[in-house]
Structure 1
Amino acid sequence: MTKTDSLSPDTDNKSVRRRFPNVIFLFLCAIIWGFGFIAQRLGNQHVGPFTFNGVRFLLGALTVSPLLFIVRRAEKKDLSASEISATEARNKTRAMRRAWIIGSLICGLALFAGASFQQIGLINTEAGKAGFITALYIILVPLIGLFLGKRVSWNVWIGLALAVGGLYLLMVEGDFSVAPSDLIILIGAFLWALHILAVDHHTEKVDGIRLAFGQFLVSGLLSFGVALVRETISWPAIQEALLPLLFSGVVVAGVAFTFQVLGQRGTNPTLAALIMSLEAVFAVIGGILVLNERMSSREWLGSALMLTALIIAQLKFVPHKNKAAD
């Protein structure tokens, strides 16, 4: 008998069953985020990008806040049931609070940065096109991991090459010019990758609901701070953008970003990025159905290359031993 090595997809059934709820959370997140591009485009017609983000993230924090009471009650119950002294319980509570504050500040800052660039770019970039450029974070996540000492597999490099070709078709015009709004969206994709890595790190230390609330609060306050300096905040304009703001604040922020935090807990960040990148597909669908947007054949080809790149970059192969007769 001889042993030969072959490559086969990683199909650990127990692992798949264990992370199935996480996959559902992340898939729902992708659907909501995709249609969220539509609300963001509509909101830009009435209010400035920082005003829009300030309102929507504070609405997100408000949406999540009732769940904090449930989390707090569960934490108190766990501490009461544990066989530790009162001093140890206080120290544990203090450590949890410190981890929550740090996680909220870091994730909130990353969320503020990514959302700001995306919202500004969406002023002049179509929802579907922005969705595919933003989805580049799926390749940026493992590439950033490379600088953190993590190995990048061969298929990621192939995916990156295809993504560069797709981005060229999506962003570069016939006269070799690039729209500034597309570049802004591209910078946002890099910042979203940092946000995914930040959430992945801090969900191991902080309850998901607490982290979602904290990052919304930080991002909302930062956005409003910039809006006060750079924009004119008008209550009538906010009223005109009420429906997009409610969808973006309650559904996209309050629900979808919370799904992200819950779904990423215990999930490989690269796999999470793959699932969430499907937002690009739903952004195109939403742009066609709601905004009557149309992409050129060149942009469709670029989108197809991007989607292929996203899939190839996330294929996971492991060595598998087969026995063969001599």
Structure 2
Amino acid sequence: MNKNFINLDKECKNIILSWEDAPSPETGMSIEELRKGLLLDNELTGEGPENIETVDTVIKNRLGNNIQARIYRNPNKHSDKTLLYLHGGGWVSCSIETHDTFCKYLANYGEINVLSINYRLAPENKYPAALEDIEDTIDWILNVDNKELITNSNFIGVAGDSAGGNLAAAISLKMRDIGKDIISLQVIIYGAVSGDTNNDSYKQYGTSPYRLKKETMEWFWQQYIPLKPVTHVEYLEPIKAKDFKDLPNALIFTSEHDVLRDEAEEYAGILKNINNSVYLKRFDKLPHGFVNMIGKSKRAEESSIFISKKIRDYWK
């Protein structure tokens, strides 16, 4: 038993212990099993605020293929602010459905529109496929003919947890580099911004019974990294960028009991040192993946509401 586990939030501890005998992808769980989301049920993720309206739609990517998308909004509180949400899951798993409840929280307590998408997953679609889908989705948001989600171009943000946090940071770098400076806010929730698995948080929290172990994260990276050399390594590992100037304002959230904690906090420090606007908060006693534990952990729910309200206050 990892000695740090005793200090974890009690409700989250019970959740993780209930998974103790479940297989992991690096030890034999198939990708198909992983994608079924066997560990994420409605009781765990919760139902979300009932007043949020959802609309499913389809966005065409550059290949002419469909990107499944879901719009979240409060019909009683009109907003022209849109947050593009990018789910976690190691670039390999999860979907609109697994993060549906959290997106409802973001829309309700953030008082914004949220657009969640099913970007292409690895290993069938390695880097940069997901990033391409995200860029194409941003173009869809900006399209003047888009009547489904009318958005003020001054209020377009990207957000994501874990692998989705990686993608939020990466697309922020890329959009700046190609001269599309239309992202005003990046929200990174326990984001995987570095492939280095040797820092202190990996040593502290990278073993059982924690679900996201060092070996698990290394397996995820192996699925995502392409076989061919990467031209822009910073779009794969944002922390390796050579230029951090003029990036969107950042809200960066970490969880104490998480292998990804240190790299995300280091990334916040790098951005701040280059005079970007950065807000950083660590949620004590919480594990990786807490936004999917809203239904069974009061602390996870309160933290998810905090994130949502921080976005609301930033965009007021």
Q: Report TM bin, short chain.
A: under 0.3
Alignment TM-score, normalising by the size of structure 2: 0.26
Pick 1 or 2: higher relative contact order, CA cutoff 8 A, min separation 6: 1
Greater helix fraction, Structure 1 or Structure 2:
1
Structure whose CA Rg is larger: 1
Alignment TM-score, normalising by the size of structure 1: 0.25
